[in-house]
């Protein structure tokens, strides 16, 4: 067979595997894999430096399938390239990432070929995609990471990091705001290591894009400062290869390749129609498609002889060679730059350098206290100096979030200063969170920040961080009513609860400056979980830890801060964040009145819920049923801690625009009110 024939055979194998898998599953998206098989084939087999034997080799090119519904494209190439599996400890298992059997069981329980690409589940997937737009946005974080890593670690003669990032996307991605935010940021930063390939097929679920999407996408990307190329026919592998070559020669700006394609290519009745998008073709049409490809009409899940070998001779050989050269280079690098090499090792395993927590502040008792955001700012500046690969930024609220890294040499990340540790995301919260995920997928420790209320704008990417089991860090200040005069548009009510509802995400709402420090300690040691920090805008009294329980209790999610004599309370006051000092004040007042209370600080539901029953019972003894929870957020969910006889002082309405003091009074966040509730629970004593 000629090489062209092998190309065609390989492309048609991707197409027919996709068709058969969808048909067998009776669900899925056949049309786009049929159309984009040549594109994905060319990229993988002719261009990408990826070694299937080691899909986590640090200098591999990254591939993001942002139109995640076309997952069969990825499952096909991961299978045909013989990509191997690795586990959560980054060990290579010597097993295939995706077997033909997984493909036969596409979309079935426990198959390694699920409906959409899932990072935590399938080796070779670089990021979870499916929510349109987020994949491309995440790729911007990967591109920033490559620039940052190259700047820090490359040395003359040692291009340790010189990989490229490729993202395939469709009309849906182009319509989503997050992609626009991210493209704008990528253009601003001149990320010439980044290439998006846009499947311009004019079809989405409801039909032709003329019903809702008629803008000039090319002009838009030119406006963002991208290099815009066009491949007029998606089956033209040489043109595709040439465009990818132009991308690699282009400096100073990202590349956007518009690929004009035909969804459902080869399907006589469904090509170029929405019917090819998201449902099986049907047995008759499957046969007709196979006939048009010159494929045996009744063969199913057929991988013809020579196809695996063709991939092995292409991406397999190129990737193995690239990794072999890199491994040699890295060995020489290690000899000359042992400390830098060590950093790279640690980073790959998501470990922290020795001494990462030295010089973390300890805050003395102070009635006036410190705002959560200010304590956080101090901590961040220490961590960023101790951990070279810790970096982040805000969506234009750095001065307010106190997330700016101010120490000498921290620097700003810009096109001409890719070593900076202050990222300026601009007012693009969704892209910021997706970008943070991209940085973290590249093994950096990264944070993004904004006001807590705007966590809603970032939420879809926070959710994906949790789904991917990524240790992304989201710092949200102005966590409650502290925004006072800004009013209800700026006062979070339901945000805390809604984030607590995301499986795997750890939310922390620390109650004073030392709890902030402890919260960061917990967060930094998490390797496979994202965290949200909800921090106060206003000063919170710094508790006297000689008198009250140690803030190290934060690690357990909840702990006893102040107790009744002999540890025998009549009533338990549970609080988080700014309400902790309110609970302590209430406790002192109750003590004067002869009522025995315990104060439990509960910065994190998730961490507390993971403690052994014994510990949880020691903090919240079952026999003490008079319990009051106080939190400036939605009351929903607190029942589980206060029990049927308890009471929750929280928010059931939106806030209001007024000075904080008045709001505290209006909404009942005052000692007198908490005392009254506690008394009432004790039968009006």
By the rule CB under 6 A, 277 interacts with ligand TPP: yes
Q: Are 183 and 139 in contact (CB under 8 A)?
A: no
| Closer by beta carbon to Mg ion, 173 or else 649 | 173
Residue 32 CB, nearest distance to ligand TPP (Å)?
4
Among ligand TPP, Mg ion, none, the one that 628 touches (CB under a kind-dependent 5 to 8 A) is none
Q: Degrees (nearest 5) of the Cα angle 190, 196, 198?
A: 140
Residue 295 CB, nearest distance to ligand TPP (Å)?
22
Residue 467 CB, nearest distance to ligand TPP (Å)?
14
Q: Are 413 and 421 in contact (CB under 8 A)?
A: yes
Q: Which residues are CB-neighbours of 390 under 8 A, at least 6 positions away?
A: 383, 384, 421, 444, 445, 446
| Closer by beta carbon to ligand TPP, 18 or else 204 | 204
For the segment 16-35, give every residue that binds ligand TPP (CB under 6 A): 32
Taking CB under 6 A as the criterion, the residue among 95, 205, 332, 501 binding ligand TPP is 205
Q: Judging by DSSP bridges, how do beta strands 255-260 and 227-231 pair with one another? A: parallel
429 catalytic residue (yes or no): yes
Site stretch for ligand TPP (CB under 6 A), options 124-132, 416-424, 508-516, 536-544: 124-132
Gap between the Cα atoms of 22 and 25, Å rounded? 5
Q: Degrees (nearest 5) of the Cα angle 86, 92, 93?
A: 85
Among Mg ion, ligand TPP, none, the one that 117 touches (CB under a kind-dependent 5 to 8 A) is none
| Closer by beta carbon to ligand TPP, 250 or else 273 | 273
| Closer by beta carbon to Mg ion, 127 or else 201 | 201
Residue 280 CB, nearest distance to ligand TPP (Å)?
15
For the segment 230-269, give every residue that binds ligand TPP (CB under 6 A): 263
The tokens describing 511, both together, are: 């109650």
Q: How many CB atoms lie within 10 A of CB 233?
A: 12
Taking CB under 6 A as the criterion, the residue among 170, 266, 388, 438 binding ligand TPP is 170
Gap between the Cα atoms of 593 and 596, Å rounded? 9
Tell me the three-class secondary structure of 199-250, residue by residue.
EECCEECCEEHHHCCCCCHHHHHHHHCCEEEEECCCCCHHHHHHHHHHHHHC
Interface residues with Mg ion (CB under 5 A)?
A: 170-171, 201, 203
* Cα separations in angstroms, 494 against 257, 501, 633: 41, 11, 6
64, β-bridge pairs: 167
Q: How many residues bind ligand TPP (CB under 6 A)?
A: 19
Q: Which residue has the tokens 């209006």?
A: 666
Site stretch for ligand TPP (CB under 6 A), options 172-180, 291-299, 368-376, 667-675: 172-180
The tokens describing 135, both together, are: 């994949």
Query: CA nearest 440: which of 42, 127, 209?
Result: 127
By the rule CB under 6 A, 172 interacts with ligand TPP: yes
For residue 58, the SS3 value is coil
Among Mg ion, ligand TPP, none, the one that 531 touches (CB under a kind-dependent 5 to 8 A) is none
Residue facing Mg ion at closest CB distance: 171
| Closer by beta carbon to ligand TPP, 69 or else 323 | 69
For the segment 144-163, give every residue that binds ligand TPP (CB under 6 A): none
Query: CA nearest 466: which of 418, 501, 508?
Result: 501
Residue 374 CB, nearest distance to Mg ion (Å)?
48
Among Mg ion, ligand TPP, none, the one that 69 touches (CB under a kind-dependent 5 to 8 A) is ligand TPP
Q: How many CB atoms lie within 10 A of CB 596?
A: 18
For the segment 66-95, give every residue that binds ligand TPP (CB under 6 A): 67, 69-70
Q: Degrees (nearest 5) of the Cα angle 446, 451, 456?
A: 85
By the rule CB under 6 A, 203 interacts with ligand TPP: yes
Residue 435 CB, nearest distance to ligand TPP (Å)?
17
* Cα separations in angstroms, 627 against 233, 337, 404, 616: 68, 58, 40, 14
Catalytic residue among 181, 429, 579, 631: 429
Query: CA nearest 21: which of 150, 88, 111, 97?
Result: 111
| Closer by beta carbon to Mg ion, 167 or else 203 | 203
Cα separation of the two ends of the chain = 92
Residue 203 CB, nearest distance to ligand TPP (Å)?
5
For residue 139, the SS3 value is helix
| Closer by beta carbon to Mg ion, 206 or else 639 | 206
Site stretch for ligand TPP (CB under 6 A), options 126-134, 148-156, 496-504, 614-622: 126-134
Among ligand TPP, Mg ion, none, the one that 67 touches (CB under a kind-dependent 5 to 8 A) is ligand TPP
Q: How many CB atoms lie within 10 A of CB 306?
A: 15
For residue 647, the SS3 value is strand
Residue 111 CB, nearest distance to ligand TPP (Å)?
20
Taking CB under 6 A as the criterion, the residue among 30, 38, 96, 130 binding ligand TPP is 130
By the rule CB under 6 A, 131 interacts with ligand TPP: yes
Residue 323 CB, nearest distance to ligand TPP (Å)?
32
Gap between the Cα atoms of 29 and 44, Å rounded? 21
User: Which residues are part of the catalytic machinery?
Assistant: 429
In the complex, the residues that contact ligand TPP under the rule CB under 6 A are 32, 67, 69-70, 130-132, 170-173, 176, 199, 201, 203-205, 263, 277
């Amino acid at each position: 067979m000629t090489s062209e024939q092998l190309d065609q055979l390989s492309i048609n194998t991707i197409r027919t595997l996709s068709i058969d898998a969808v048909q067998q599953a009776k669900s899925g998206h056949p049309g786009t894999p049929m159309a984009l098989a040549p594109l994905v084939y060319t990229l993988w087999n002719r261009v990408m430096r990826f070694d299937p034997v080691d899909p986590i080799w640090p200098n591999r090119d990254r591939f993001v399938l942002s139109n995640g519904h076309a997952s069969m494209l990825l499952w096909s190439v991961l299978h045909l390239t013989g990509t191997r599996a690795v586990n959560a400890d980054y060990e290579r298992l010597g097993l295939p990432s995706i077997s033909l059997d997984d493909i036969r069981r596409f979309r079935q329980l426990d198959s390694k070929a699920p409906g959409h690409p899932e990072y935590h589940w399938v080796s070779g997937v670089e990021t979870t995609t499916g929510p349109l737009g987020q994949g491309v946005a995440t790729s911007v974080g990967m591109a920033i990471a490559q620039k940052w890593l190259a700047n820090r670690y490359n040395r003359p003669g040692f291009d340790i990091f010189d990989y490229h990032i490729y993202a395939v996307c469709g009309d849906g991605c182009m319509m989503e705001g997050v992609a626009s935010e991210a493209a704008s940021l990528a253009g601003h930063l001149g990320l010439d290591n980044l290439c998006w390939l846009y499947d311009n097929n004019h079809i989405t679920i409801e039909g032709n894009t003329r019903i809702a999407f008629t803008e000039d996408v090319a002009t838009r990307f030119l406006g963002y400062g991208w290099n815009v190329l066009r491949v007029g026919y998606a089956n033209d592998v040489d043109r595709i290869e040439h465009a990818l070559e132009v991308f690699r020669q282009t400096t100073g700006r990202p590349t956007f390749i518009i690929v004009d394609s035909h969804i459902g290519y080869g399907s006589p009745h469904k090509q170029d129609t929405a019917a090819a998008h998201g449902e099986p073709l049907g047995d008759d049409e499957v046969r007709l498609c196979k006939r048009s490809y010159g494929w045996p009409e009744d063969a199913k899940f057929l991988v013809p002889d020579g196809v695996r070998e063709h991939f092995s001779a292409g991406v397999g050989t190129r990737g193995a060679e690239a990794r072999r050269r890199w491994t040699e280079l890295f060995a020489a690098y290690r000899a000359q730059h042992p400390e830098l090499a060590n950093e790279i090792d640690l980073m790959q395993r998501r470990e922290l350098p020795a001494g990462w927590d030295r010089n973390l502040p300890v805050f003395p008792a102070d009635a006036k206290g410190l705002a959560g955001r200010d304590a956080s700012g101090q901590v961040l500046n220490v961590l960023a100096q101790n951990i070279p690969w810790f970096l982040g930024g805000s969506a234009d609220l750095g001065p307010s979030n106190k997330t700016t890294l101010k120490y000498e040499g921290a620097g700003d990340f810009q096109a001409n200063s890719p070593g900076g540790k202050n990222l300026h995301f601009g007012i693009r919260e969704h892209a910021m969170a997706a970008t943070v995920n991209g940085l973290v997928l590249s093994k950096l420790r990264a944070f993004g920040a904004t006001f807590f209320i705007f966590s809603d704008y970032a939420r879809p990417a926070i959710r994906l961080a949790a789904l991917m089991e990524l240790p992304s860090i989201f710092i949200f200040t102005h966590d409650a009513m502290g925004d006072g005069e800004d009013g209800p548009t700026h006062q979070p009510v339901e945000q805390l609860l809604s984030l607590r509802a995301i499986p795997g995400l750890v939310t922390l709402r620390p109650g004073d400056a030392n709890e902030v420090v402890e919260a960061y300690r917990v967060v930094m040691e998490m390797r496979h979980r994202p965290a949200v920090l909800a921090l106060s805008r206003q000063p919170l009294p710094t508790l006297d830890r000689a008198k009250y329980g140690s803030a190290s209790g934060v690690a357990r999610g909840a702990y006893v801060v102040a107790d009744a004599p002999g540890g025998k309370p009549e009533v338990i006051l549970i609080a988080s964040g700014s309400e902790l000092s309110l609970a302590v004040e209430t406790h002192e007042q109750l003590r004067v009145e002869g009522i025995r209370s315990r104060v439990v600080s509960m910065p994190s539901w998730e961490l507390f819920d993971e403690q052994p029953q014994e510990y949880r019972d020691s903090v919240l003894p079952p026999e003490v049923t008079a319990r009051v929870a106080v939190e400036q957020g939605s009351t929903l969910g607190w029942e589980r801690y206060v029990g049927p006889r308890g009471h929750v002082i929280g928010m059931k309405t939106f806030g209001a625009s007024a000075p904080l003091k008045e709001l505290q009074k209006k909404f009942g966040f005052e000692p007198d009110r908490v005392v009254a509730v506690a008394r009432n629970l004790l039968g009006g004593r």
